Amino acid sequence: MQTQQYDSLYLFINGQWLSAGDRETSAVINPANGTTLGRLPLATNADLDQALITAGESFPVWRNTVPDDRARIMKKAAALMRERAEHIATLMTLEEGKPLSESRDEVQRAADYFEWFAEEARRIDGRVVPANRPGVQQLVKRQAIGPVAAFTPWNFPAITPARKLSAALAAGCSVILKPGEESPATALALARCLDEAGLPKGVLQIVFGVPDKVSSKLITSPIIRKVAFTGSVPVGRLLSERAAAGVKPISLELGGHGPVLVFEDADIEEAATNGAANRFRGTGQICISSTRFLVQRNAYERFVQRFVEATENLVIGDGMEPGTQVGPLANERQLEKMAALVEDAVTQGATVLTGGKRINRSGFFFEPTVLANVPMSARIMHEEPFGPIAIMRPFDTIKDGLEEANRLPYALSAYAFTSSARTALDVGDGLEAGMIGINQYRIIATELPFGGMKESGHGSEGGREGIAPYLTNKFISQI
Ligand code: NAD
């Protein structure tokens, strides 16, 4: 039986909202209690063929829609998202588990992206370059790159689709989006807003299925000219190989293992209290989350004590219940991963300062966990802990701190706390990460480029930089 507040689920192909019919389906589970919210239709091979043909046909229609009209439709869609924010946020909390207040905020931020990129659509200009031969005119144009295949995960069901769709649509691209199968209703609700705002038929299509089959089919099709993916490093690597075979550019937003350097001259209380809130937000399932707390030795005990206190004060529960600060993990698989990471660390000598196990209630709840004395050989010192586990580790000099912060192939987010302007400058320069917060954990804004370095990916989403991956350069030299 379907939950009352939850929407029916569809594929959105060639302007049609397609229900399951004879198609295979998968269950969408409420992670707070394990009940089935609905059944998700999975695209057949014929559905994907149709989506590809439509993406090819709708591309010139949208590319030739003038910027003002593209902007108007995107802004109208953003207004509809704001109007429906309460409903969309409820869908998100039911299917993903995060507290309703965070879902509400995410819907507003998704709408922000559509508004921001609606304006950017009007600023796609080119250049007239002086020629070195008389009588020659040289124009450099930036044009929409072509139909896009975009893949987004389950943890931010509104903001990750919004970042990709808003930039691609502003540029004039058609898009086939495959959101995470665990939290599909949110992306469908955003697509409804775009559809009702007047987006021409087939410019945006939404498909679901077995991720590997869908991505293989879409990326290898000659119709698709650009790929965008948010998810784990191994899947990002696989999709890169597929894109490379067709010589297609790919934007990748992959995992992280965010270091936090806390210097002894910092506001330790703030770094610790906000650190715990940041680490356990989204139940730790956030790629830019702070995960490794590296604290200068003189401040270590004080920081750890405050961090553990703040962790133990967090209210854990169903995201639909008012006051909940930490919801469940997204699925059973995530629970198993957390238990295995803790067990591995403890077997090798780590100390559990708080938490460490599954919570005995229905749903996928795991205690917010703080580990200390974790040996370098433990898996968690190398693998992204995509869940509610924080690692505490002392350091002595800025050099030691930076060395540990930059040790891993991940380079997505990093944070530092200090009251010294000199130290702030030095860590800002020395940290290897695409996004750095100094004396704050809040680093995301619509106007800033979101993206990583090293194995955390490449290509920026958001900010003035965010539209470039969906454009291609062309010059016309005329005599
Ligand atoms: P996963 O790697 O199996 O899946 C991550 C996402 O990629 C999912 O949405 C999934 O549907 C999609 N995916 C998986 N295989 C795919 C394929 N062959 N083609 C296209 N899409 C594919 O991992 P998971 O167990 O679902 O999530 C946990 C891991 O994923 C974490 O360890 C984390 O590193 C990563 N993750 C990262 C982000 C992020 O924001 N960067 C978000 C969610 C998950």
Q: Does residue 80 lie in a domain region?
A: yes
Please tell me whether residues 44 and 114 are part of one structural domain.
yes
Please tell me whether residues 353 and 391 are part of one structural domain.
yes
Please tell me whether residues 142 and 161 are part of one structural domain.
yes
Please tell me whether residues 427 and 391 are part of one structural domain.
yes
Q: What's the angle, vertex CA 322, arms to CA 317 and CA 325, rounded to 5?
A: 50
Ligand 1 center to 211 CA (angstroms):
9
Query: Is the minimum distance from the CB of 155 to ligand 1 under 6 angstroms?
Result: yes
Ligand 1 center to 11 CA (angstroms):
20
Which of 163, 235, 336, 461, when mutated, tests ligand 1's pocket best, judged by the most ligand atoms within 8 Å of its CB? 235
Residue whose CA lies nearest to ligand 1 atom number 30: 232
Residue 453 DSSP SS3: strand
Instruction: Report residue 37 as tokens.
Output: 């919210």
Query: Is the minimum distance from the CB of 274 to ligand 1 under 6 angstroms?
Result: no
Query: Is the minimum distance from the CB of 154 to ligand 1 under 6 angstroms?
Result: yes
Residue 272 DSSP SS3: helix
The per-residue pLDDT for 214 is 98
8 A C-beta contact, residue 41 and residue 25: yes
Query: Is the minimum distance from the CB of 153 to ligand 1 under 6 angstroms?
Result: yes
Q: Which one is catalytic: 106, 287, 432, 455?
A: 287
Instruction: Report residue 143 as tokens.
Output: 């044009």
Domain count of the fold of the chain: 2
Closest alpha carbon to 436 in 402, 390, 474: 402
Please tell me whether residues 414 and 464 are part of one structural domain.
no
Query: Is the minimum distance from the CB of 211 to ligand 1 under 6 angstroms?
Result: yes
The per-residue pLDDT for 5 is 86
- Distance CA(464)–CA(172), nearest Å, equals 16
Instruction: Report residue 433 as tokens.
Output: 């990460």
Is 336 annotated in the active site? Answer: no
Q: Does residue 1 lie in a domain region?
A: no
Residues 6 or more apart whose CB falls under 8 angstroms from that of 153 comprise 160, 180, 230, 231
Q: Where are the alpha helices (DSSP H) in 122-183?
A: 159-171
Ligand 1 center to 68 CA (angstroms):
36
Q: Which positions of the chain have pLDDT values less than 50? A: 1
Please tell me whether residues 138 and 60 are part of one structural domain.
yes
The per-residue pLDDT for 4 is 62
Query: Is the minimum distance from the CB of 208 to ligand 1 under 6 angstroms?
Result: no
Query: Is the minimum distance from the CB of 237 to ligand 1 under 6 angstroms?
Result: no
Is 287 annotated in the active site? Answer: yes
Q: Does residue 404 lie in a domain region?
A: yes
Please tell me whether residues 197 and 320 are part of one structural domain.
no
Ligand 1 center to 370 CA (angstroms):
24
- Which atom of ligand 1 lies nearest, measured to the CA of 216? 19
- Which atom of ligand 1 lies nearest, measured to the CA of 153? 9
Ligand 1 center to 140 CA (angstroms):
38
CATH number at 85 reads 3.40.605.10
Query: Is the minimum distance from the CB of 263 to ligand 1 under 6 angstroms?
Result: no
Residues 6 or more apart whose CB falls under 8 angstroms from that of 344 comprise 378, 379, 380
Please tell me whether residues 147 and 220 are part of one structural domain.
yes
The per-residue pLDDT for 1 is 45
Ligand 1 center to 453 CA (angstroms):
18
Instruction: Report residue 3 as tokens.
Output: 């939950």
Query: Is the minimum distance from the CB of 145 to ligand 1 under 6 angstroms?
Result: no
Residue whose CA lies nearest to ligand 1 atom number 11: 180
DSSP class of residue 417 equals E
Instruction: Report residue 426 as tokens.
Output: 């030095």
Which of 106, 232, 237, 334, when mutated, tests ligand 1's pocket best, judged by the most ligand atoms within 8 Å of its CB? 232
Q: Which ipTM score applies to this complex?
A: 0.94
Ligand 1 center to 153 CA (angstroms):
6
Please tell me whether residues 330 and 370 are part of one structural domain.
yes
Residue whose CA lies nearest to ligand 1 atom number 44: 231
Ligand 1 center to 235 CA (angstroms):
7
Query: Is the minimum distance from the CB of 254 to ligand 1 under 6 angstroms?
Result: yes
Boundaries of domain holding 301: 258-445
Query: Is the minimum distance from the CB of 307 to ligand 1 under 6 angstroms?
Result: no
Please tell me whether residues 356 and 368 are part of one structural domain.
yes
Please tell me whether residues 340 and 373 are part of one structural domain.
yes
The angle, 0 to 180 degrees and rounded to 10, between the axes of the packed helices 67-83 and 184-196 is: 130
CATH number at 293 reads 3.40.309.10
Q: Does residue 3 lie in a domain region?
A: no
Please tell me whether residues 279 and 132 are part of one structural domain.
no
Query: Is the minimum distance from the CB of 291 to ligand 1 under 6 angstroms?
Result: no
Record the pTM. Answer: 0.97
